[in-house]
DNA sequence: GGATAAAATGTCACACTGACACAATATTAG
DNA sequence: CTAATATTGTGTCAGTGTGACATTTTATCC
């Protein structure tokens, strides 16, 4: 309690930004300039910000978007996490930081996941990276530090939330088809679902409005379009789906 | 990124320690020396510790116990949280810290909840407090800073976990009765459940072993004793209860 | 030792679930 | 242009889980 330095930490956050495109769940990643490793968009928290505000700022910078659905899910605080991977050295090489003293401090990161409409995102690299791209889950490899672990935890949390919350409004365009919504659920859950049972169940939640339009131009029979019933959707977000007790 | 001080934060954690006693859910609280406000047991994170290790240390100090069931649930990072309540001044009065400079920094706290066997705890106050006591949920009042908010979030999380995880092994003695287990669920959920349906459901999870003993000495008909089937209990902890998809 | 209060067990109707069949329809291929 | 095709819309049925409630059993109470 007596020494300042003992409590000096680098407080950062990392965002797992999920988007849905071409029937695939994708994550927005940055490629680092020197090592070419991939990283989750993140940044340091300023002293006058809450973590949530900082996450909004990071998201705005990387995607150009405001008002994104954001959810804090875990703090990664292993004192060795910055050593776990030579990637910290990249930062050093890249000219940021103040030399060894800066890097000898520990790095603490809070994980957020974000759900966004793929088409509305305008990906922008940051100072340390030369690419900012969407990657489908299976394509993701060669992540820096413990970012694989952070990503996995985000997915795990998202799956869990799926069981008691509606999801989709932030990931899909305004109008969408039942097969699209199902595919979204399937990719998040990592398993396939029965088409007819899925429809019955999701409709029973009353969070969808069936439209009179059909989605033409696709292959074979044209599916109906749906939109979310925001009133019920938001109610469900707050109250959650039943829960088994 | 250029200024050290800009990234100086006080990294702490607060523990919501739940125990179950006399059919009530209780929380272990400290009473502060000067303001007499109540506080969750907490502490600063040392530089060489993960948050989990720091939480274990805090729990050991306050309860005398090791190997406690611990779960990180939220980070409280509002820059104003230390100002929100004059309680920070208490710390100042109490002689800790290095004066204004120290208190002008922000306080970030990660919330953990812990589940413990009430009878195994030996409550010990810390340097800033003169009491360390169990309080039933309804008795809790006059908490310092944002500790009420932290407590509420812990409860909310615990309730959620109840729907997809077994709970009880850490809160109840080795042998317990069905009415005791039900009362635990009822207090966590804050509502009463049908006795017969509860039993049917909890048994269907296969996490209990029915013993041949009965709990004598109570009032009227003696209930059977149960113990947890650790093998199935741990399996359920990992895999979770079904989930609706 | 009978009254009492709680525990153990059982029943029944209904909702939900998983597995699967068949009809309808827009596109595609010849 | 027409038939084949892949996909969507709708429906059924049996098995399981759920909520509501009645009856029997049993250790204490008086």
Residue of A nearest to B11 (CA): A7
Lowest-confidence region among A89-93, B139-143, B203-207:
A89-93
| Whole-number Å distance between alpha carbons of A33 and B98 | 41
Q: Average pLDDT for residues A218-223, to the nearest whole number?
A: 90
Neighbours of B98 (CB within 10 A): 11
Strand B9-21 versus strand B106-115 pairing type? parallel
C-alpha distances (whole Å) from A139 to each of A28, A134, A142, A145 are: 12, 10, 10, 18
Question: Going along chain A, which residue ranges are E strands?
Answer: 9-21, 24-32, 38-39, 42-44, 69-76, 106-115, 129-136, 176-177, 208-214, 224-228
Place of tokens 């939330």: A161
Which residues lie below 8 Å from residue B221, measured CB to CB, with a gap of 6+? none
Residue B86 has pLDDT above 60, yes or no: no
CB pairs under 8 A between A and B: 101
- Tell me if residue A61 falls in helix, strand or coil: helix
Instruction: Assess whether pLDDT exceeds 60 at residue A96.
Output: no
Give A217's contacts (C-beta < 8 A, 6+ positions apart). none
Q: Among A79, A98, A164, whose Cβ lies nearest the Cβ of B47?
A: A79
The whole-angstrom separation of Cα A20 and Cα A3 is 48
B216 nearest nucleotide via C1' and CA:
D27
Answer whether residue B133 shows pLDDT above 90.
yes
Are A1 and B46 inside 8 Å of each other by CB?
Answer: no
pLDDT tens, A104-140?
678 899 999 999 999 999 999 999 999 999 999 999 9
Check whether residue B221 has its CB closer than 7 Å to nucleic acid strand C. yes
Confidence at residue B96, expressed as pLDDT on a 0 to 100 scale: 53
Identify from A55, A105, A191, A244 which residue to disrupt to test chain B contact, counting B C-beta atoms within 10 A and taking the largest count: A244
Nearest to B47 among A6, A75, A201 (CB): A6
Separation of CA A217 and C1' D16 in angstroms? 42
pLDDT level of residue A244 (50, 70, 90 thresholds): confident
Closest residue in chain A to residue B72, using alpha carbons only: A74
> Does the structure show a pLDDT above 80 at A154?
yes
The 10s digit of each residue's pLDDT in A29-73 is 999 998 999 999 999 999 899 999 999 999 999 999 999 999 999
Tell me, letter by letter, the H, E, C secondary structure of chain B. CCCHHHHEEEEEEEEEEEEEECCEEEEEEEEECCCCCEECCEEECCCCCCHHHHHHHHHHHHHCCCCCEEEEEEEECCCCCCCCCCHHHHHHHCCCCCCHHHHCCEEEEEEEEEECCHHHCCCCCCCCEEEEEEEEHHHCCCECCCHHHHHHHHHHHHHHHHCCCCCCCCCCCCCEEHHHHHHHHHHHHCCCCCHHHHHHHHHHCCCEEEEEEECCCCCCCCCEEEEECHHHHHHHHHHCCCCCC
What distance in Å separates the CA atoms of residue B40 and residue B30, rounded to the nearest whole number? 6
Residue with tokens 């705890």: B121
A200 touches strand C (CB under 7 A): yes
Task: Find, in chain B, the residue whose alpha carbon is nearest to that of A50.
Answer: B78
Which of B9, B74, B163 has its CB closest to that of A9? Answer: B9
**3 state DSSP class of A42:** strand
Nearest CA distance, B198 vs chain A (angstrom)? 9
Q: Is there contact between B179 and strand C, defined as CB under 7 Å from any strand atom?
A: yes
Instruction: Kindly state the tokens that stand for A59.
Output: 């998201």
| ipTM score | 0.90
Q: To the nearest whole number, what is the mean pLDDT of chain B?
A: 90
Residues 152-211 on chain B lying near strand D, CB distance under 7 A = 194, 196-197, 200-201, 204
Q: Is the CB of B244 under 7 A from strand C?
A: yes
Chain centroid offset of residue B242 CA: 25
Q: Using CB atoms and an 8 Å cut-off, which of residues 204-233 of chain A contact chain B? A: none
More confident residue, A245 or B73: B73
CB distance A207 to A232 below 8 Å: yes
- The predicted structure's pLDDT at residue A2: 41
Q: Does B128 reach chain A within 8 Å, measured CB to CB? A: no
Domain A176-239 is found in CATH 1.10.10.10: yes
Q: Which residues 90-109 of chain B have a CB within 8 Å of chain A?
A: 96-98, 106, 108
**B89: which residues sit within 8 A by CB, 6+ positions away?**
none
pLDDT at residue A198 in the model: 97
Give B2's contacts in chain A (Cβ within 8 Å).
Answer: 98
CA distance B19 to B123: 12
What is the separation, in whole angstroms, between the first and last Cα of chain B? 45
CB contact under 8 A, A77 and B45: yes
Q: Over the stretch B20-31, which tens digit does the pLDDT of each residue have?
A: 999 999 999 999
In this complex, is the C-beta atom of A128 within 8 Å of any C-beta atom belonging to chain B?
no
Q: Terminus-to-terminus CA distance in chain A, angstroms? A: 45
Bridge partners (DSSP) of residue A76 are A109
Residue A174 reports pLDDT greater than 70 = yes
Q: Strand C and chain B: which residues 11-40 have CB closer than 7 Å?
A: none
Looking at every residue in chain A, the average pLDDT score rounds to 90
User: How many other CB atoms are found less than 10 A from the CB of residue B217?
Assistant: 6
Those nucleotides of strand C lying less than 7 Å from any protein Cβ are 4-11, 16-21, 24-28
Task: Return the domain boundaries, chain A.
Answer: 4-162, 176-239
Q: How confident is the model at residue A9 (pLDDT cuts 50, 70, 90)?
A: confident
Lowest mean pLDDT among B95-104, B110-119, B189-198: B95-104
Asked if A153 is an interface residue toward chain B (Cβ–Cβ < 8 A), one would say no
D28 C1' to B136 CA distance, Å: 29
**CB distance B164–A160 less than 8 Å?**
yes
Order across the sheet with A176-177: list the strands: A176-177, A224-228, A208-214
A92 pLDDT above the threshold of 80: no
Q: With bands split at pLDDT 50, 70 and 90, how would you rate the model's confidence at A85?
A: low
- Could you tell me the CA-to-CA distances from A182 to A152, B34, B72 in Å, in that order? 22, 58, 32
Q: Which fold has domain B4-162?
A: Nucleoside Triphosphate Pyrophosphohydrolase (3.90.79)
Residue of B nearest to A45 (CA): B7
B222, closest nucleotide (Cα–C1'): D27
Q: Is the pLDDT of residue B3 over 50?
A: no
């Amino acid at each position: 309690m007596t020494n300042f330095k003992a409590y000096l930490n680098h407080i950062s956050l990392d965002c797992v930004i999920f988007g849905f495109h071409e029937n695939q769940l994708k994550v927005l990643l940055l490629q680092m300039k020197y090592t070419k490793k991939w990283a989750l968009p993140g940044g340091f928290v300023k002293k006058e910000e809450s973590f949530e505000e900082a996450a909004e700022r990071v998201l705005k910078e990387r995607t150009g978007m405001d008002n994104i659905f954001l959810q804090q899910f875990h703090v990664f605080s292993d004192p060795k996490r910055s050593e776990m991977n030579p990637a910290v050295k990249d930062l050093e090489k890249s000219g940021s930081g103040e030399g060894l003293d800066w890097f000898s401090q520990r790095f603490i990161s809070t994980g957020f996941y974000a759900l966004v409409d793929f088409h509305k995102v305008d990906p922008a690299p940051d100072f340390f990276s030369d690419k900012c791209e969407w990657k489908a889950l299976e394509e993701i490899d060669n992540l820096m530090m413990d970012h694989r672990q952070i990503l996995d935890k985000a997915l795990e949390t998202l799956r869990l939330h799926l069981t008691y919350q509606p999801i989709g409004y932030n990931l899909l365009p305004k109008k969408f088809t039942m097969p699209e919504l199902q595919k979204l659920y399937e990719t998040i859950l990592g398993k396939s679902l029965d088409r007819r049972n899925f429809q019955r169940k999701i409709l029973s939640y009353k969070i969808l409005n069936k439209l009179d339009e059909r989605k033409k131009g696709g292959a074979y029979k044209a599916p109906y379009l749906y939109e979310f019933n925001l009133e019920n959707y938001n109610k469900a977000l707050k109250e959650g789906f039943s829960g088994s007790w």
